[in-house]
Amino acid sequence: MSTEIVAVDFPGGKRVDARVGQFLIETDQSEKAGGSASAPEPFDLFLASIATCAGIFALGFCQARNLSTEGMALKMVCERDEKKKLFGKMTFQLTLPQGFPDKYRNGITRSMELCAVKRHMTDAPEFSVELEPL
């Protein structure tokens, strides 16, 4: 089993930043939640990770077949389950490029289903918390 480490820092206020590999990902809370809205909220990054993951699979599908991606666009519509206070449904709406071949419509849909972020949600990992001494 391999491991990946995400290191988190607390630079002040409501900011919580994460270092993933060589990248620093900054987060903050909205002003309404006591932050300064200087960066996306963590949940916004979660949603963006799902949508961009599906997008990279759609892009890769087209690139592998030398299909134009001009005009291609992706939206993810999130429907909230008010009883659970969680999103109960997420729908990807992919706008295909002009002249996209019909024979590839099912294939690009299947490729988006391979998104690793989505797969981690449907086969959720176990979570645990370990406290380290100071």
Q: What is the DSSP string of 67-112?
A: ---TT-EEEEEEEEETTTTEEEEEEEEEEPPTT--GGGHHHHHHHH
Q: Per DSSP, what are the bridge partners of residue 80? A: 87
Look-up of token digits 């295909």: 96
Is residue 39 predicted with pLDDT exceeding 90?
A: yes
Structure confidence at residue 70 as a pLDDT band (50, 70, 90): very high
Taking the C-alpha atoms of residue 51 and residue 91, their distance in angstroms, rounded to an integer, is 10
What pLDDT was estimated at residue 2? Answer: 84
Looking at residue 9, its amino acid is D
Q: Indicate whether this model's pTM tops 0.85.
A: yes
Q: DSSP 3-state helix, strand, coil percentages of the chain (rounded to 5)?
A: 35, 25, 40
- 95's CB contacts (< 8 A; 6+ apart) are 71, 72, 73, 74, 75
